[in-house]
Amino acid sequence: MKYIVIGAVAGGMTAAMKIRRNDDKAEIIVYDKDTDTSYSGCSLAYYISGVIDNRKSIVPRDSQYFKKFNVDVKTAHEVLKVDVQNKKVIVRDLGTGNIFEDSFDKLIIATGAHPVIPQIDGTHLEGIFVLRNVKDADRIKEFINTYFPKKALIVGGGYIGLEMAEALKVLGMDVCIVEKQENILPNLDSDMARLVESYLEQKGVMIKKSTSVLRFEGDKRVKRAILSDGSKMDIDFVLLAVGVRPSTQFLEGSGIQLLPNGAIKVDEHMRTNIEGIFAAGDCAAVYFKLNGKTMYVPLGSTANKMGRIAGENATGGSMKFSGILATSIFKVFDLTVAQTGYTEKMAQQDGIEYEVGHITKPHITTAYPGAENMTIKAIAELSSRKIIGAQIVGTKGVDKRIDVLATAIFAGLTTDDLFQLDLAYAPPFSSAKDPVHYVGMVMSNFLDKRKFNCTQEKLLEKMQKGEDFVVLDVRTPDQYKVKHIKGAVNIPLEMLQNKMNLLPKDKQIIVYCNSGVSSNIAQNILQQNGFRKVYNLSGGISNVTLEQLLERSTSNSSPSSP
């Protein structure tokens, strides 16, 4: 049996090695138009910054490595066409220019994706780059080491853009991110994205949202960017990071079914619509586990799973792909950002009735040195009580919690189950009630309507509609003076029992503190004393990122009283 694999990175080489493990006598040929194989694309920003100083660390295996497994990897060979009727591929040797045919019994397509180049005048100028493979990183490093740029513009506020913002700052550049959407990180909910924006601005990264680049200017190298907000920026380095598209142009007219974005349509076995032809990795579509809908989410972890399944089934297996939750994580400076499952926007598009909550807790016991807070946004379905989505922003311990929550969502656990999870505890690693436990407790309270929750977006909506309600700040007067919600009255928690008679029982009361702990206690006190419409501001004022809600007091101002 002869197998041809197109693509020699995550999906392709995983498939090739799975074929070899299953079939010792198989003839396996891998074609790739690049010269690097099995590289770590997710490490490129750290290679550029110098955190990873050895190129071999991100390209640990070259084509020669696979010869000992009798896998023939032909780099610098581009597949131009797939002839499905005759089971042949047309290949160009990029070294010699020769074009030849090769036949196959089974074919696996794992050609990955390529960066989108936006239609902007001047993108041909030197100093403007994309970042997808190791050669891109080499070119960026060479340019930086030759011309020592000082002012960098990153077009696109996704994961790559933010990782490179850190890398370029580490290398001594002033960095500006231009994002045409209303927020950076469009795959996150806006409230969580704004937490990241605030952090980046503290780190000296300029962010321009709802803005696009009209054109780049310069003689030979880029010198200036003209933006849609009318501003001009002097720059000497540009990274275009506006997304990727599946590298499947060579399949047009082949009969292999493609989605409108060019992704190869595959079933749960990684089979295309053509018998004997499979696809895996960033060139192929996947489906979202929670609704079964096809989606395009190019991730290295997913590509490895798909490659294994494709290799198994190409050799006669019947392994099924269970779908994805779009779980992802990245770091920028000391901040970690992670997500899994539904966002609010996705849940709304699917017509799901849900409850949302924000929980801010330390990653370890506060008595142990080094405890740092993380903010978890959780989404639970009302009807099933299942946890269906989570997003986390914090400095430490985020990876552990997002993986637990992803596992819980994958397994269909409810918010009640989260509290019951038997998680490891010791002061250096967690708290007796882990942040995941708090997610379960808080969300169960919301679902049971024992507690009422109000997000900052709902609060702003109430204000804009002119609804009659009271906002109650239960922090200290000094904390109130620094920053508070507009129109909030201040009754410190320890004084609430004696002063609650000043609050109207016939109105909604929205209570808040810094993170939600003291306001939860205040909510209990008020509910147990006849107040029936008491809402807790989700996550507290520390997570309020809508400036329309905030008022920052002068040093001599006095807190408002009821």
Question: What's the gap between Cα 520 and its chain centre?
Answer: 30
Rounded distance, CA 202 to CA 225, Å?
A: 24
Catalytic annotation present for 42? yes
What are the distances in angstroms from CA 36 to CA 77, 100, 192? 12, 22, 37
Q: How far apart are CA 80 and CA 92, in angstroms?
A: 7
CA atoms within 13 A on the CB side of 440: 21
- Name the one residue in this structure whose structure tokens are 């909604």: 508
Residues 6+ apart with CB under 8 A from 151: 173, 174, 176, 233, 234, 235, 236, 237
Q: Which one from 42, 176, 454, 513 is the annotated catalytic residue?
A: 42
- How many distinct helices (H) and strands (E) make up the chain? 15, 32
Residue 268 CB burial class (10 angstroms; 0-12, 13-18, ≥19): middle
**Residue 158: DSSP 8-state:** S
Contacts 24+ apart (CB under 8 A), 516-519: 516/358, 516/359, 516/360, 516/540, 518/474, 518/475, 518/493, 519/474
Question: How many whole angstroms from its chain centre is CA 552?
Answer: 32
Residue 357 in contact with residue 443, Cβ under 8 Å? yes
Task: Report, as residue numbers or ranges, the catalytic residues.
Answer: 42
